[in-house]
């Protein structure tokens, strides 16, 4: 049920965002529509990765499992973080005074990339310890990026951009909790994953709907 909700939200984001991108007039909104669609694609990859975990195990013990899991998880995180980084860059550029946010332009985005690469290498090692460390790195990157987006939200005067940025932050957080709870140990009730799945579906719907402004043809 939770996976179905995430896939439904991702499908809506992909179809609606790409449809809006063809109709939107302003370039910033067109860029956001494109990367919203790409963000939806990342959710599809995460659901696929979760399914492969049931086949090869959360910590694969075969070379086949290591390679397949490494590719799918790597693609999922690459798409997710590209979406995050692009949203941060566009949000910062929307600030009238072009102010930096938490040293993002001074090196924060480079640090994010390096941490992602290190986390990916650690996650590819068939070891519970290395994967736990990788999860901590991913938590740091998501937390830092969400804080940067939250700060740009408070500085942006365009109310549509502010609202969209708010839903992006909430979508990022919901995806993180979905993946985190889905991969939690037996001490966590698996039914809890429905909460971030519902959150993702709702936040995705609201975020994409916010983009429907100044179109060549009014959306139906």
Where do the domains of the chain lie?
2-210
Give pLDDT, residue 186: 57
Residue listed under structure tokens 């640090």? 111
Cα 134-138-140 angle, rounded to 5 deg: 115
pLDDT for 189 equals 61
DSSP states of 125-136: SS-HHHHHHHHH
Cα separation of 128 and 87, whole Å? 32
Give residue for tokens 């009014």: 218
Q: How far apart are CA 193 and CA 179, in angstroms?
A: 8
Mention every residue, 6+ apart, whose C-beta is less than 8 A from residue 97.
155
Give CB contacts under 8 A, 24+ apart, made by 178-182: 178/2, 178/6, 178/46, 179/46, 179/50, 180/135, 182/2, 182/50
**Residue 129 confidence (pLDDT):** 77
User: How many angstroms separate the CA atoms of 96 and 209, rounded?
Assistant: 24
48/7 Cα distance (integer angstroms): 10
- Tell which residue, 114, 86, 90, has the closest CA to residue 26: 90
Per-residue pLDDT of the chain (220 residues; tens, 9 = 90+): 677 888 888 888 888 888 888 877 777 677 778 878 888 888 888 888 878 878 887 767 777 877 887 788 888 878 878 888 887 887 777 777 778 888 998 888 888 888 888 887 877 776 777 777 887 888 888 888 888 888 887 877 777 778 888 888 888 888 888 877 776 655 566 677 788 888 888 888 888 888 766 555 544 4
Beta bridge partners of 24: 215
State the residue for tokens 């909790």: 177
Q: Which three-class secondary structure state does DSSP give residue 33?
A: helix
């Amino acid at each position: 049920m939770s996976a179905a909700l995430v896939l439904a939200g991702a499908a809506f984001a992909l179809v609606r965002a790409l449809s809006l991108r063809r109709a939107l007039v302003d370039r910033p909104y067109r860029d956001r529509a494109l990367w919203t669609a790409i963000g939806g694609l990342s959710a599809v990859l995460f659901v696929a990765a979760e399914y492969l975990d049931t086949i090869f195990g959360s910590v694969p013990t075969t070379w086949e499992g290591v390679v397949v899991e490494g590719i799918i998880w790597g693609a999922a995180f690459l798409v997710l973080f590209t979406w995050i980084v692009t949203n941060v860059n566009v949000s910062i550029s929307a600030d009238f005074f072009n102010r930096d946010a938490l040293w993002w332009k001074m090196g924060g985005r480079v640090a994010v990339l390096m941490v992602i690469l290190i986390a990916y290498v650690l996650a590819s090692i068939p070891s519970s310890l290395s994967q736990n460390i990788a999860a901590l790195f991913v938590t740091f990157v998501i937390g830092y990026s969400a804080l940067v987006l939250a700060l740009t939200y408070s500085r942006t005067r365009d109310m549509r951009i502010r609202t969209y940025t708010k839903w992006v932050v909430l979508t990022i957080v919901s995806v993180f909790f979905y993946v985190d709870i889905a991969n939690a140990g037996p001490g966590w009730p698996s039914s809890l994953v429905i909460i971030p799945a519902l959150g993702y579906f709702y936040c995705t719907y609201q975020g994409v709907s916010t983009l429907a402004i100044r179109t060549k043809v009014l959306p139906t």
